[in-house]
Amino acid sequence: MTRILLRIEPANESSQAVAASAGFHLTNDALVIRERKEGPFKLLTWERTS
């Protein structure tokens, strides 16, 4: 079984809609926090298995 992951910012509703329409679902994984110049940002994890 292959697990494909997407990481999407919570405020990015458009990308979440595309992910859902492509067969991905939101996981219960903890938020992923990444750093960038502007400061930290949080990402939700979406997955699709095949």
Indicate the burial class of 28 (C-beta count within 10 angstroms; 0-12, 13-18, 19 or more).
Answer: exposed
Domain that holds residue 28: 3-49
Q: What are phi and psi of 44, to 5 degrees?
A: -85, 150
The whole-angstrom separation of Cα 21 and Cα 1 is 21
Q: What is the predicted pLDDT for the residue at 50?
A: 86
pTM of the model: 0.87
The tens digit of pLDDT for each residue in 1-50 reads: 899 999 999 999 999 999 999 999 999 999 999 999 999 999 999 999 98
Q: Using an 8 Å Cβ cutoff, are 49 and 5 in contact?
A: no
Number of folded domains that form the chain? 1
The whole-angstrom separation of Cα 42 and Cα 13 is 14
